[in-house]
Structure 1
């Protein structure tokens, strides 16, 4: 009975070590890809925040552009003169 417990313990320890070293090797290979992915996401978030900040700081220019666009959609004004 003691022999069976010792073999079970030994198998458990070997499985734990195998999983540990296996994950260590896998992460060693995947680390460059994971870091690149994470840095690209952080870079994208920073660019989005910068654009939002820039848009927030220039509200008057956006209003002028919207007014110009809305005026163009209305059409031309033609002034007719009366002939006597």
Structure 2
């Protein structure tokens, strides 16, 4: 069975602190680049999605005279239930 020594504790504490500061330094350097790449990739995906949805819902005819709207993707308005008539009450004095 091994016993813990004071010098081993100090060495371990030094490694933990050194690792923390190295990680913090590298995060400051590399994290902005990583975030920039992620944002650019998300923007590209968004543009592709927009182009796909515009290409599917708007189709031009060969004559270029009319535009056909694909209503399969269009949102339908919901009708609200009418429960009763509105009664306007006046206050009596």
Please say if 1:12 is aligned against 2:31.
Answer: no
**Which entry has the higher C-alpha Rg, 1 or 2?**
1
What root-mean-square deviation, in Å, do the aligned CA atoms of Structure 1 and Structure 2 show? Answer: 2.0
Question: Structure 2: which 5+ residue stretches go unaligned?
Answer: 63-93
Question: Structure 1: which 5+ residue stretches go unaligned?
Answer: 66-84
Residue in 1 aligned with 2:23?
Answer: 23
Between Structure 1 and Structure 2, the one with more helix by share is 1
The list of structure 1 runs, each at least 4 consecutive aligned residues, that deviate by more than 2 angstroms after superposition, is none
5 Å-filtered alignment, 1:73-84, equals none
Taking structure 1 as the reference length, the TM-score comes to 0.61
Taking structure 2 as the reference length, the TM-score comes to 0.56
Summarize deviations over 1:6-64 as a string: whole Å, max 9, x none: 21111111101101110101111123212211111111111111111112212x43xx4
Count how many residue pairs are aligned between Structure 1 and Structure 2.
61
Between Structure 1 and Structure 2, the one with more strand by share is 2
Give, in whole Å, the separation in 1 of the partners of 2:13 and 2:53: 55
